[in-house]
Structure 1
Amino acid sequence: MNKKIWFRDLGLRDYKDVWEYQENLFQETVDLKIRNRREELTLETLNYLLFVQHPHVYTLGKSGDIDNLLLNEKQLAAKDAVYYKVNRGGDITYHGPGQIVGYPILDLENFFTDIHKYLRFLEEMVILTLADYGVTATRSDGETGVWLDVGTPFARKICAMGVRASRWVTMHGFALNVNANLGYFDNIIPCGIRGKTVASLNVELGVERVDEEKVKAKLLHYFARLFEAEIVAQNLEAEKLPL
């Protein structure tokens, strides 16, 4: 089993470009697994973890309800935002500057074959990271993601999650609000859940801005620990990786 994970920080990138990039990495891994099975080979599959920030974008999962987007095309344009229906699980969510988005493209057969455990590990990575900032975060029964003040009238989501998996290969992932403009969430019913709001780490800490590089480092640390993996950083320019 290959527990090495190639990490790439993509910076600020268009959502559609990164979606296509994910799809390419995902399909390469799936195709290799099919070839291994067909030809009785044991070629090693690769694992990736991408960090990125996107310009303002709303995405709707394959089981989502378009009525949870409260803007029409003209209103989207006025807010300098775009919309895509995508092939992940979950309903509607928002991505934008100040949010750390993580896309693990893993062959889970290198780790464990359990999607439920995979999602819980992603949640735990965020919960442990927030704990380092003195923020107590938890899970909410029946609602994937990471929440604050669950069971109170003030319950709010700080990290959304939605994944796709085929042949135990994953894509899409999580979005942690660090310095997010929460006003953009007013234009949707986040994750299709009414009556609950969203949170951002800087607001919870009462500061103007949280150092996002430090948050990324903590996420990577806990990701590696939970998955018992070796994180190998790749520089897009130095490696001449396409995107």
Structure 2
Amino acid sequence: QMKKEKRNSTNKEIVTPNYFLFVEHPHVYTLGKSGDLSNLLLNEDQLKNKSVAFYKINRGGDITYHGPGQIVGYPILDLENFFTDIHKYLRLLEEAIILTLADYNIKSERSEGETGVWLDVGTPFARKICAMGIRASRWVTMHGFALNVNTDLGYFDHIIPCGIKGKAVTSMHAELGEKIEEEEVKKKILKYFKDLFNVEDFIRKEVE
């Protein structure tokens, strides 16, 4: 309904509302439209035994995992109210996560040629802490990011995350050695996202 509302706004003098959905998914693997199915290392029976779902979806990117302890964010905004540049949007989304992690003394950065947010780029210990896969239809954004906060990283052992071989995955919990208050992380992400887009507020929704 929210996407439909924004698509129906044809008068660009009317600024449509901006939504930010936070979701905690059950255990699921998703494969992007350009992904390679061979990056899923489980067959149908093994998925069933582990109680993990699998879906092919229409976002960019390859395969990733979503589950409890992970903050998944789906901003829904009309880029025609900001800029019509999907790559700039992705960079700002990454920046919001980088700034959030810095508040926890976790130094993160981008990795050239790879989306998402990483630690120790350019070293043998490079590891991904936040995956991203986005799409826009008529400049209305969908999908978003998945930040590993208190995530059970064992689920990543059954895929080649984002189709990138030889790179590890980490979480805030793994880096700091303690459980992280997820609500506080969400508030920080939303604050930085609002600052980067220079908007007063997003309509925040929690989706189960």
When normalised by structure 1's length, the TM-score is 0.81
2:174 maps to which residue?
203
Give the Cα–Cα distance (whole angstroms) in 1 for the partners of residues 204 and 54 of structure 2: 30
Partner residue of 2:197 out of 227, 231, 242: 227
After superposition, where does 1:99-118 map in structure 2 within 5 Å? Answer: 99-118=70-89
* CA distance in 1 between partners of 2:136 and 2:110 (Å): 22
- The 5-angstrom pairing of residues 113-132 of structure 1 reads 113-132=84-103
Give 1:25 deviation, angstroms: 2.4
Alignment counterpart, residue 5 of structure 2, candidates 28, 42, 52: 28
Q: What is aligned with 1:214?
A: 184
Q: Distance in 2 between matches of 1:96 and 1:29?
A: 29
Q: Secondary structure at the match of 1:223?
A: helix
Shift of 1:233: 4.8
8 Å CA contact 2:21, 2:204 repeated in 1: no
Runs of 5+ in structure 1 lacking a partner?
A: 1-23, 237-241
- SS state of the match for residue 32, structure 1? coil
Select between 226-235 and 133-142 the one with higher mean Cα deviation. 226-235
Task: Give 1:168's aligned residue.
Answer: 139
Task: Give 1:44 deviation, angstroms.
Answer: 3.9
Helix, strand or coil for the counterpart of 1:203? helix
Q: Which has the higher helix share?
A: 1
Q: Give the SS at the match of 1:230.
A: coil
- Superposition TM-score, scaled by structure 2 size: 0.94
Counterpart code for 1:211: E
Q: Deviations over 1:154-187 (max 9, x none)?
A: 1010000000112111000000000000000001
Please say which structure displays the higher CA radius of gyration: 1
Give the letter for the 1:166 counterpart.
S
Higher relative contact order (CA 8 A, sep 6+): 2
Distance in 2 between residues matched to 1:158 and 1:222, nearest whole Å = 18
Provide the aligned C-alpha RMSD in A: 1.8
Secondary structure class of the residue paired with 1:163: strand
Q: How far apart are 1:114 and its partner, in Å?
A: 1.2
1:67-116 deviations in Å (ceiling 9; x for gaps): 11111111111111101100100000000000000001110111111111
- Alignment correspondent of 2:106: 135
Structure 2 unpaired stretches of 5+: none
CA–CA separation in structure 2 for the residues paired with 1:87 and 1:175: 16
Q: Deviations over 1:15-67 (max 9, x none)?
A: xxxxxxxxx4223322333xx4xxxx854422211011100000000000111
- May I ask how many residue pairs the two structures share in their alignment? 208
Distance 1:235 1:122, change over 3 A: closer
Q: Percent identity?
A: 69
